[in-house]
Amino acid sequence: MTDSPYHKGEQEVQKRIGEETIAQKTGRIISDSLPAGAWKFIDKQPMVIVSSQDVKRNIWTSILVGEPGFMTAENERNVRIHLPSIVSSKLDPFWENIRQQPNIGMLFIELATRKRLRINGISTLSDLNMHVSVQQAYPNCPKYIQRREIAVTESNKRSHSRKRGTVLTTEFKNWIEHSDTLFVGSSDDQGNLDASHRGGNPGFVKIADETTLIVPDYPGNSMFNTLGNFWVNPKAGVLFVDFATGNTLQLTGKVEISWEEAGTEETTGGTMRFWKFFISKWMWMDSLKGVNWKFVNHSSFNPSTKNH
């Protein structure tokens, strides 16, 4: 389909699930420029989720935080991020990655209002700014977002620390088992990156073993951007944020899709789909010092988290 906004992986998944007609209609929102209203939305955001690739094409998902105004839509095709205004950790692998691989995926997500905007593009760095040239931009639905209010309480720079490993610790397992939110980065087979959100009631992510997570695939907008990327490129990056401490846990690895698992209608919202995430590396950081989060409520769309 020559006029499709989707790549072959997305189209294959849409066809497999029988939602290609809906996807084509939904795909009209995808543009190569910022939609109306997006400029002001970006300008007031204190956080953005970003995905990047390291030199081995492993995908990492990160969070950048600063006082509102540190990100600006300069025009309909360009977003600027003022680097000195960022308060999240400079030890994040994102900064090394984009010097080697400039493609990035961006998710502007306002948890308090459940609004989100996805931008995929090409980054360039200078001493003071990162500029992102918009390749794709489109809004997303508000489902499965847990409402939280964010406050950047300190703008001064703090020192940060990080740890690396390959196997989940008991502490990390407990963290994941009680999480209600994760962010996932993925890429097509051409290196075009995407950043997305997954949410549910606490416990929606299951731990199969010390290197394997199981994530339900709830009903969405029929675009299947993330699963479409998985179809052509199984590499992915997952980010968990501890909203109580400001710590972050970044995982990189590969994905395997389970298309139909009997008896899981309730825990998947009816799709019976899951994806297994096989962890190859993790990175822990105390990345968000000076950032406070206030929980408001869970999404009414969240399916049950009963064991399957």
Residue 260 is predicted with a pLDDT of: 92
pLDDT (tens digit per residue) in 227-272:
999 999 999 999 999 999 999 999 999 999 999 988 899 999 999 9
Q: How many degrees, rounded to 5, is the angle at CA 193 between CA 246 and CA 275? A: 75
Q: Is the pLDDT of residue 89 over 50?
A: yes
H helix or E strand, kind and range, residue 108: strand 103-110
pLDDT band at 3 (very low <50, low <70, confident <90, very high): confident
How much of the chain, in percent, has pLDDT values that exceed 90? 91
Residue 305 is predicted with a pLDDT of: 83
pLDDT band at 153 (very low <50, low <70, confident <90, very high): confident
Residue 155 is predicted with a pLDDT of: 66
What value does the mean pLDDT take over residues 22-39?
93
pLDDT band at 290 (very low <50, low <70, confident <90, very high): confident
pLDDT band at 139 (very low <50, low <70, confident <90, very high): very high
Distance CA(277)–CA(254), nearest Å, equals: 6
Residue 308 is predicted with a pLDDT of: 42
pLDDT band at 1 (very low <50, low <70, confident <90, very high): very low
Chain-wide mean pLDDT for the chain? 95
Residue 83 is predicted with a pLDDT of: 96
pLDDT band at 159 (very low <50, low <70, confident <90, very high): confident
Q: What does 200-227 look like in DSSP terms, one character per residue?
A: -STT-SEEEETTEEEEE-----S--HHH
* Stretch among 108-117, 151-160, 209-218, 294-303 having the lowest mean pLDDT: 151-160
Alpha-carbon torsion angle 172, 231, 5, 3, nearest 10: 180
Would you kindly state where each structural domain of the chain is located, as residue ranges?
Answer: 8-297
Q: Is the pLDDT of residue 214 over 70?
A: yes
What value does the mean pLDDT take over residues 142-165?
90
Residue 58 is predicted with a pLDDT of: 98
Residue 307 is predicted with a pLDDT of: 52
- In this structure, what token pair is assigned to residue 168? 């989940």
Per CATH, the architecture of 8-297 is what? Roll (2.30)
DSSP 145: P
| CB atoms closer than 10 angstroms to residue 160 | 15
